[in-house]
Structure 1
Amino acid sequence: MIKMNQLGAALAMAGLVSGAASAAAPVSAAGKSEFVTVKKTHFARKGKSYYIAGANFWYGGYLGSPSGVGERARLRKELDTMKALGINNVRVLAVSEKTAMTSAVRPATTNGPGKYDEDLLAGLDFLVDELGKRDMTVVLYLNNFWQWSGGMTQYLNWFEGTPAIDPNVTKDYDDYMAKTARFYANKDAQKEFRGTIRKIVGRVNTINGKAYRDDPVIMSWQLANEPRPGNGKASDKEKAVYTKWIAETAQYIHELDKNHLVSSGSEGLAGSAQDAKLFMASHSSKHIDYLTYHLWPKNWGWFDSKKPVESWDGAIAKSRDYLNTHIDMAKTLGKPIVLEEFGLDRDGASFDIKSGTKIRDRFYGEIFELIQRRAANGEPIAGWNFWAWGGAGRAANADYWWKQGNDFMGDPPQEEQGLYSVFDTDASSLALIKDHAAKLRLLQK
C-alpha cells in the first residue's frame, strides 16, 4: 500500500470470538485436491469452489517467532478471532530485508545477502502450521516494492551501492518509484532474490516437518507487494522489463513448486502506470495463475476523510468503476481476480482506536456488496482481503508512529498506527465482515 497524495495522479465483541494447478497435487482420502487450484475463472479446493474472505496480516510470521518479537499466544488469539469471523485466508509478508531506513520494520528476515534470521523463519513455520489447524490458507509475498520491509530499494542498496531510499523522509514518491524499478534489471539483485525464493519455497517446516511446496495451507506464492514498472511516466522499455520480470520470476517459482498458484501482487491499473494494456500484458503469462488488484480511494485523492459528505459520491463512483473494470479485464484474460487490499480510515481521519468507523463500514459494505453480486453471477471475482487486521495490537506512542518494540498491527511502519487497522474492538466492522464472509461461503458449492 502507498499513500496516494504520493501517487500524484491517477474480542470484546459478543458472539464473534470463541476463546493453474498441477495434476501432481496431493489429494485427500476422498480424492479431492487439498490445494487451492484454478478451474477456468474460479478457485477450487477440496472439490468445491473456493472464495476468499480474507484479511491482510503482514506481520503474522513475526508473531510466530519463538523468541524476540514473537508472541505466539497473541498469534493464536488473532487466528481464532479471524476464524470465528469466517475469515479463511490471510495475506502475509514472507521476507523482509535489513535496512537503515527509519520507516521499515525491525528486525528483518534477511540481514544481508544470504544471511537469514532463523527465528523469523521459524515464526513463519509456526504461522503456517497454526493456519492448517484452523483450515485457513495463506498468500505469502516474497518481496515489496515499498520501503517498509526493506524491499527492492534495499536490494539496490546491497548491489548498486546506492542509498536505500525512504520516501517518508524524501517526500518524493515519484523519484522513489522511478529508482526502485531498477531492481528488475539488476542482475545481481535478481540472483539474490532468486536465492531467497529458493530458500523460502524450498523450506521444510520446523514445526510439522512438511515441505512448504507440499503444504496445501499455502494458497499462493506472490512475487511482491505492489510491484510496478516505475512511476506514472514509466517508459515503454521499463514496462517491457517489468512484464518480462513478472513472467520469468513466476515461471521460476513454478519450476521449484508444481503444487501452488503464483500471483503478482499487483494493485491493478494504479500499479500499471494507469495503462490497461500493460496490466493485461504483464498478467497474460501462463505462469501467473490469477490476478490481483487493490483499492485506495483516500490514498488516490478520491476521498477526503475530513470532508466525507462532500467527497463520498465521487469516491464511491470511482471505486465502483475501478472494481468493475478489473473484473471485466479478468474476464477477458480468463483468470480469477482477487481484491486483495482495500481500506479507509476512521471517522474524522482519527488514528484513535476510540474513534468511530461509520464511514469505513459504509465503504466496506459497498465493496462487499459489489463483489458478492458479481461473484453470484458467476463472474471471475474470487473474493477479497481487507487491509488490514490490527486485532489486539495497540498504538504505543502519542504521535501514532511505530517504534521497534511496539505492537505489530495492520499499519506497517511507513504510516501511522491505527490508520487502516481493523481492531478486535471494532464491533460494527467485525459484524460486517462476518456477515459478508458468510454470504461468500454460500457460493462455495
Structure 2
Amino acid sequence: MILDRRSFLVTTAGAAGALALAGCATGGEPGSQFVQRTGTRLTRGGQPYRIVGTNMWYAAWLGADADYGDRKRLVRELDRLQALGLNNLRIMAAAEEGPLSNSIKPGFTRADGSDNVALLEGLDFAIAESAKRGMTVVLALSNFWEWSGGLQTLLQRVTGSYIDMGDPAHPWPAFADSTAAFYANPGAVRLYLDHVRSIVGRTNSVTGMTYAEDPAIMSWQLANEPRPGGSDSAIAANRPAYLDWIAQSAELIRGIDDNHLVSLGQEGTQATNGSEELVTAAHQNIDYLTAHIWPLNWGWVAGDDLAGTWPDGKRKVEAYIDTHTRLAAAMDKPLVIEEFGFPRDREAYSPDTTTRFREQYYRVIYKAVEDSWRDDGPLQGSNFWAWNGEARARHADFRYRDGDRAYMGDPPHEPQGWYGNFDSDKAMLELASAHAARI
C-alpha cells in the first residue's frame, strides 16, 4: 500500500500560564450566536449545537481569486453540503511553503515568510459563504504533517534542515520525532505565533467583519494532529515543551479573541502512544477534546480483506470511541470526532467503486454520536474525512501533480479518491443526510 502521512502511524497536569476552563462556559455571551461550551455541551443561541460536518481543507484555495482558485465551484460544493444538512466544516487556515516534497503550493506563507494575500482572501470568501448557509468553520492554524508544509517547514526556516515524510533514509518515527522538536525551538514557535496573530486578528475582506467578531467561526484549532513525538523517548523528552506550546498558543488566541472556542486538533491516544494521562494534560486549557479514527492506517483493517478484518476493526473503533468519551466525561468537556475515514471497497480510488464497508464504518460513528445526543453524553458530533464533491482525479494513476486544480479531500500526497466522498456517492450522501436529519 502507498505510504502516506497516516500509514506510518501503525508503526508507531495542565501547563502553566493558560486559563483553567473546566466547568465554565466559554465562547461569547450566553445566548449569543457564537458556539459556546458549558460542561460537556456545545450550544449556539442558547440551544444545543450538534455537529454534522466534514473536512474540506482546501476551501481557501477554491475561494482564492487567483488562477488556482474556483469560487464558483466552492459555492456549488457548499450548496451541496447545505442540502445534505451539514453544518460544520474543518478547513486549513495555514500552509507553509518550503522544500518538503509533498506540501501543497501555494501556501498562506511563502518560503520567505511573506503572506499570500490571494489565499488569505480566499479564506475570507470561504468563511463568508459558509456563514450565508448557516454553517460554522473550524480553522486549523498549522499542521503536524508535511502536506501543508506545517511545523517541519517552520523548523526548516529556522534551522535550515528538514526531513521528508516517507524518506527511506529516515524511517518512522524519524519524521514525527524530528517535527516534534518544533515545540522547544523558540524561533520556530515565534514564526507559528506570528501567523496565529495575523489570522486571529484578521478582518474579513469580504464582510468587513473581524474574525474575532464572526460567529461563523466555531473554533481556533492550534494545528492538525499535533503530536509530542513518534517514539516513546521523544514523547517523554518533548512533553514539557509540548504542553507549554499548547498553553502559550491558547493564551495568545484568547488574548486577541475571547469569543471563540480553542481546540487542539489532536487524534487522541493514538497521538500519545496510548497515554490517556497525556491526552488529558494536553486538554487542560483547551475547550473540547477531539478524536481522529483511521482503522486502515492504524492496521485495524486490511484494505485487501475488509470482509475478514472489519469485525475486529469495528470492535477497536468502538473501544476507541468509548475511551475518549470516558476521558471527555471525566474532564467535563465536549468531544468531537473531527476526522474519521475509511477506504472504498477493495481499497480502490475510482468513484465508480462501491462503498459497502465505508457505509458500515460511518454507521458505527453516527450511532455513537446519536446515542450521545439522546443520552446527553459528551460526544457532540463528527466530521467525516472528507468532501471530494465534483472533483475527479486528473490522471490514471490517481496521483496529484503540481499544478492540478481539482482539489479534493484527499491531500495532494495521497491517492486522489482514497478516503473522500464524491457528489456521486449516493449511498454515502444518503447516510450522512439521514444522520443530519436526526439532529
Give the shorter-chain TM-score range.
over 0.9
Residues of 1 paired with 2:145 and 2:108: CA distance? Answer: 16
8 Å contact from structure 1 (residues 344, 420) kept in 2: yes
Change (3 A) 1:296 1:8: closer
Deviation at 1:2, TM superposition (A): 6.1
| Counterparts of 2:331 and 2:25, CA distance in 1 | 20
For each residue in 1:329-360, what CA deviation from the matched residue of structure 2 results, as whole angstroms up to 9, or x when unmatched? 00001100100000101111101111111110
**Aligned equivalents of 2:50, 2:169: Cα separation in 1:** 40
Work out the CA distance in 2 between the residues paired with 1:26 and 1:335: 18
| Change in CA separation of 1:101 and 1:280 when aligned onto 2, cut-off 3 Å | same
2:281 corresponding residue in structure 1: 281
Alignment of 1:167 with 2:189, yes or no, is: no
Aligned partner of 1:211 in structure 2 is 210
Query: What secondary structure sits across from 2:110 in the alignment?
Result: strand
Residues 1:273 and 1:107: Cα distance change in structure 2 (over 3 Å): same
1:153-177 CA-partner distances (Å, limit 9, x unpaired): 1011100111252326657231000
- Name the aligned partner's letter for residue 281 of structure 2: A
Instruction: Give, as a single letter, the amino acid of the residue that structure 1 aligns with 2:155.
Output: L
Q: Which residue of 2 aligns with 1:231?
A: 230
Deviates further, 138-147 or 236-245: 236-245
- Alignment-derived partner of residue 272 in structure 1: 272
Shift of 1:386: 0.2
Number of the residue aligned with 2:16 = none
Matches within 5 A, 1:250-265: 250-265=250-265
Could you tell me how far apart the structure 2 residues matched to 1:399 and 1:170 are?
25
Cross-structure match for 2:17:
none
CA-CA distance at 1:100 after TM superposition: 2.4
Q: Does structure 1 retain, via aligned residues, the 8 Å contact 2:372–2:380?
A: no
| Equivalent pair of 1:4/1:298 in contact (CA under 8 Å) | no
Pick from 395, 398, 419 the counterpart of residue 397 of structure 1. Answer: 395
- The alpha-carbon deviation at position 26 of structure 1 amounts to 6.5
Quick one: distance in 1 between partners of 2:360 and 2:158?
Answer: 46
Q: Out of 284, 292, 295, which is 2:293 matched to?
A: 295
Inter-partner Cα distance in structure 1 for 2:10 and 2:368: 27
SS in 1 for 2:360: helix
Provide the C-alpha distance between the structure 2 equivalents of 1:193 and 1:95, rounded to a whole number of angstroms: 10
Give the aligned partner of residue 64 of structure 1. 63
Gaps of 5+ in 2: 13-20
| Cα distance between partner residues in 2 of 1:273 and 1:156 | 23
The one-letter amino acid of 1:190's match is V
1:120 deviates by: 0.3
User: How many Å apart are 1:24 and its aligned residue?
Assistant: 8.5
Deviates more, 1:366-375 or 1:232-241: 232-241
In the alignment, the residues of structure 2 paired with residue 346 and residue 8 of structure 1 have an alpha-carbon distance, to the nearest angstrom, of 19
Corresponding residue number in structure 2 for 1:115? 114
Residues 53 and 383, structure 2, Cα contact 8 Å, conserved in 1: yes
Indicate the residue corresponding to 2:308 in structure 1. 310
Using the TM superposition, name which of 258-267 and 94-103 deviates more: 94-103
Give the Cα separation in 2 of the matches to 1:5 and 1:142: 23
Residue in structure 1 matched with residue 360 of structure 2 by the alignment: 362
CA distance in 2, matches of 1:171, 1:295: 25
What code does the residue aligned with 1:241 have?
A: A
1:417 aligned partner, one-letter code = Q
- Report the counterpart of residue 412 of structure 1 in structure 2: 411
Matching residue of 1:87: 86
**2:182 alignment partner AA:** F
Shift in Å, 1:235: 4.1
TM-score by length of 2: 0.93
User: With structure 1 as the length reference, what TM-score do the two structures score?
Assistant: 0.92
1:114–1:196 Cα contact (<8 Å) kept: no
Which digits, 9 at most, give the CA deviation of each residue in 1:71-122, with x for residues without a partner? Answer: 0000000000001101000000001011222211111110035401000000
Counterparts in 2 of 1:202 and 1:152: CA distance versus 1, 3 Å: same
- Secondary structure of the residue aligned to 2:354 is coil
How far the C-alpha of 1:4 sits from its partner, in A, is: 4.6
1:14 alignment counterpart = none
1:170/1:408 Cα in 2 relative to 1: closer, same or farther (>3 Å)?
farther
Aligned position for 2:42: 43
Q: Which of 322, 327, 330 is the matching residue for 2:328?
A: 330
Moved more, 73-82 or 301-310: 301-310
Q: Partner of 2:8 in structure 1?
A: 6
Q: How does 1:122-133 map to 2 (within 5 A)?
A: 122-133=121-132
- Is 2:26–2:287's contact at 8 Å kept on the other side of the alignment? no
Aligned to 2:337: 339
**Letter of the structure 1 residue corresponding to residue 411 of structure 2:** P
User: Matches of 1:278 and 1:419 in 2, distance apart?
Assistant: 31
State the secondary structure of the residue aligned to 1:116. coil
Secondary structure in 2 matching 1:53: strand
Q: 1:6 is aligned with what amino acid?
A: F
In 1, the alpha carbon distance for the partners of 2:416 and 2:296 equals 16
Q: Secondary structure of the residue that 1:7 maps to in structure 2? A: helix
- Kept in 1, the 8 Å contact 2:27–2:259? The answer is yes
* Residue equivalent to 1:13: none
User: How many corresponding residue pairs?
Assistant: 425
User: Is the CA contact (8 Å cut-off) linking 1:83 and 1:134 kept in structure 2?
Assistant: yes
Identical columns (%)? 39
Residue 23 of structure 1: how far off its partner (Å):
7.6
The residue type paired with residue 250 of structure 2 is A
Cα distance in 2, alignment partners of residues 392 and 253 from structure 1: 35
SS at match of 1:220: strand
Q: Are the equivalent residues in 2 in contact too, given 1:283–1:291 (CA < 8 A)?
A: yes
Question: Is the contact made by 1:35 and 1:216 (CA closer than 8 Å) also made in structure 2?
Answer: yes
Q: Which amino acid aligns with 2:206?
A: I
Shift, 1:239, TM fit? 1.8
Deviation string for 1:254-285 (max 9, x for gaps)?
A: 11111100000000000112111100111112
Q: Does residue 240 of structure 1 match 2:243?
A: no
Q: Match for residue 353 of structure 1?
A: 351
For 2:28, the equivalent position in structure 1 comes to 25
Deviations for 1:260-313, whole angstroms, at most 9, x for unmatched residues? Answer: 00000000000112111100111112xx11111100000000001211121011
Q: State the alpha-carbon separation in 1 of the partners of residues 237 and 172 from structure 2.
A: 21
